Structure 1
Amino acid sequence: MIHFIIGTRAQLFKMTPAMLECEKRGLEWRWVYAAQHRDTFDQTLKFFGLPPADYTVVDWDTEAKTISKFLYWMWKMTLGLVHSKKILAGYTGKKHIVLTHGDTNTTVFGALIGRLTRTNVMHVESGLRSFNIFNPFPEEINRLITFRLSNYYACPGDWALGNVQKFKGVKINTLQNTQMDVLRYGLENLEKATITLPKTKFVVLSTHRFENLYNKQRFEKILTIAEYAAKKYKVIMPQHPVTEGQIDKLGFRQRIESNKNFILMPRLEYENYLKAIVESEFVMTDGGGNQEELYHLGKPTLLLRNETERKEGLGKTALLSKLDFETAKSFIDDYKRYQHSPVKEKVYPSKIIVDSIKEFGQ
């Protein structure tokens, strides 16, 4: 049996092509929902044509969008480890494999569930590093823990592959991230988007990282950068649940809503977000997946981070701002220098992953 353990929207996006590939090949697979995120999950499943989860670890009607809810979720997940064999429906041991993705807290729990049941563990999107323990936090720590718990490593390229050479296990070079497969699917189904976009030029602002949202000084720097962009363009700002909560908690709601060029939106479903970034002038984001996706689109990208664990687009489509206003200003004033033609590579990372683990689903 091939088990996919998923807790966040980003994980669902990036694991979906592998799940669809398993289904296409008639392999035995199932997916476990950790429910770290919940908002728009059902819509995302519908868009990709995926079935409901086979098992839900934390059955609640909210998500880990505040510190208190996050701690509650961590507690429930920790208790759930006692039932790891049940979570995997008894399909445990060396004839089966657990796939856990990325650098979230769900990533670590997924690896632990595998190890506690003596089941193989594949870390998807393995080998990415910022080499700074506290930036991004806790993502870099989550990756290091997961490296040590895994025995299969699906690495998106040579650089990532080199970063896990000291760990024992099977190394697979997927050449690119599975985000490429997601983007390909999204572009093929873009007509399903229902979002209404401004008729004038606009940009997209997307921020959701812990180190930005829970630090008032950093969040204010992001808003100051966005306000400069808003002098020239409309700024679409989708609100992740945690982003929406911090806007209110830090007292930024009135500041944002009083700016006629800011357009606040709820968290967007994938097809609507993709349509927005495709038609935008440029994107300001702290998302690692966004960085990769925008690189493949050739879209100018201002990274609202101090460090990034990804190489895609750096110095080409993407500029690492370190939240420095002058750096951001230079990007906004001359963003077209970061505009490139879309990347057209016939690489299918999810197929490479399934090729390497198909024996576990037969």
Structure 2
Amino acid sequence: MRVTCIVGARPNFMKVAPILAAMRPLDAIEPRLVHTGQHYDERMSTLFFRELGLPQPDAYLGVGSGSHAVQTARVMELFDADLDQHPADVVLVVGDVNSTIACALVAAKRGVGVAHVEAGLRSRDRQMPEEINRVLTDQISDWLFTSERSALDNLVAEGIDPARVHFVGNVMIDTLVTHRAAAARRPVLADLGCTPKGYAIITLHRPSNVDTPEAAANTVRAVEAVAARLPTIIPFHPRTSGKLQQFGLLDRVTSLPGVRVVEPQGYLDFLCLMDNAALVFTDSGGIQEETTALGVPCLTFRDSTERPITVTEGTNVLLGTDAASVPDAVEEALKGRRGARVPEYWDGKAAERIVAVLSRASS
């Protein structure tokens, strides 16, 4: 079985790495890696590939940034040409970025099987572009690999045949389990002057939080509330710093006492920072999962989450987007009273289960 695996943005790297590692020893599967270049920073991509043990991509499409329409169309055009030269039996896509739906559409229209890892996650918020990508990718997928059991209910409600759905667990946690010990040895805490469990991390980048002057100002007020309680590390997403600069708010953040603004971090350094944080304040999807696996309190600055298990079983609190609620939420999180457990099958073996399903299909 020729399986072409797609990565388009850095969160995809962490999801595909354990799948490729599980495929490599098998005679029944011939994997190929295509990097669309949807998000590309040469330094960070090289660092992530090296730290995660990913092979160099067999193809790099170099799509770059653009509107959702332009980016999706460009990925489709270039990936369609790539499949002309390198036919596949299965195209495996992960997550919910534009490259996910674009490559899935190309494969489905060519009659190539589609495998979607992280299927069935729903925020119920159709204003999130990622939600549209998730729903549409699931509709055209032949194998739907889920990270939590509630995803099956979402898929069945949307008319998906349960026989196509496989509960395998969370591949991002595979990567975390594999690299946690190495991350613990990184010198990043000393380099940044951090005391274990004595600081917060903030990551914010979603359009709803930074793309208008009003949303950005509200987000800055939230940052101020966290920083008033704890020393704070902020690895700024480029679009976040750009928007804050545009709205005249960047200096307000960087001048806050106790705030350390740093460049985006490599996987191992960021894992080390998360693992040792007292609190993470974020609007990221994947960080909700990673903090749950690590047992670190997480406050999610969003009105909805596509990962409800991180709230019902994990360490995540869905806070909404009212900055006025942040001080009390931070105090509650720091009390450490919230009971939490690592969800089922978040055990470092999700990739093995995915590859076992595909292997059976190839025989």
TM-score normalised by structure 1 residue count: 0.89
Query: How far apart are 1:164 and its partner, in Å?
Result: 1.4
Alignment partner of 1:155 is 2:155: no
Q: Distance in 1 between matches of 2:37 and 2:50?
A: 17
Correspondence 1:27-42 to 2 at 5 A: 27-39=29-41, 40-42=44-46
Matching residue within 114, 124, 136 for 2:117:
124
Counterpart pick for 1:243 among 240, 252, 255: 240
Q: Which residue in 2 is equivalent to 1:322?
A: 320
Deviations 1:24-48 (A, max 9, x none): 3353101111111112111000001
TM-score, normalised relative to structure 2: 0.88
Q: Offset of 1:108 from its aligned partner?
A: 0.8
Q: Residue 15 and residue 340 in structure 1: after superposition, are their counterparts in 2 closer, same or farther (change >3 A)?
A: farther
Give the alignment's Cα RMSD to 1 decimal: 2.3
Instruction: State the distance in 2 between where 1:198 and 1:343 align.
Output: 30
Q: Deviations over 1:74-122 (max 9, x none)?
A: 53652453454531364546xx100111111111112012113210001
Q: Is 1:51 aligned to 2:55, yes or no?
A: yes
Unaligned runs of at least 5 residues, structure 1? 65-69
Distance 1:76 1:105 in 2: 7
- Assess if the C-alpha contact under 8 Å between 1:151 and 1:170 holds in 2: no
**Change over 3 Å in CA distance of 1:79–1:303 after alignment to 2:** closer
Check if 1:167 corresponds to 2:160. Answer: yes
What secondary structure is seen at the aligned counterpart in 1 of 2:262?
Answer: strand
SS for the counterpart of 1:25 is coil
Answer yes or no: is the 8 Å Cα contact 1:101–1:124 preserved in 2.
yes
Q: Which amino acid aligns with 1:352?
A: R
Instruction: In structure 2, give the amino acid aligned to 1:278.
Output: D
TM-aligned CA deviation for residue 171 of structure 1: 2.6
Q: CA deviation at 1:149?
A: 2.1
Give the Å deviation of 1:184: 0.3
The correspondence for 2:204, drawn from 207, 215, 240, is: 207
Query: Is the contact between residue 17 and residue 350 of structure 1 (CA under 8 Å) also seen in structure 2?
Result: yes
Structure 2: distance between partners of 1:255 and 1:212 = 16
Between the aligned partners of 1:85 and 1:313, the Cα distance in structure 2 is 36
**Residue 129 (structure 2) aligns with:** 138
Corresponding letter in the other structure for 1:223:
V
Question: Alpha-carbon deviation of 1:295?
Answer: 0.7
Change (3 A) 1:342 1:163: closer
Q: Percent identity?
A: 25
Q: Is 2:198 aligned against 1:197?
A: no
Letter in 2 for 1:144: V
**Structure 2: segments with no counterpart, 5+ residues:** none
Q: How many residues align?
A: 349
CA distance 1:169–1:115, change in 2 (3 Å): farther
The letter of the residue matching 1:5 is I
Deviates more, 1:300-309 or 1:22-31: 22-31
1:198 and 1:234 in contact (8 A); partners too: no
2:149–2:167 CA contact under 8 A, matched in 1? no
State the distance in 1 between where 2:49 and 2:163 align. Answer: 30
Question: How far apart are residue 218 of structure 1 and its match?
Answer: 2.3
CA pair 339-199 structure 1, distance change in 2 beyond 3 A: farther
The question of 1:87 aligning with 2:86 is answered no
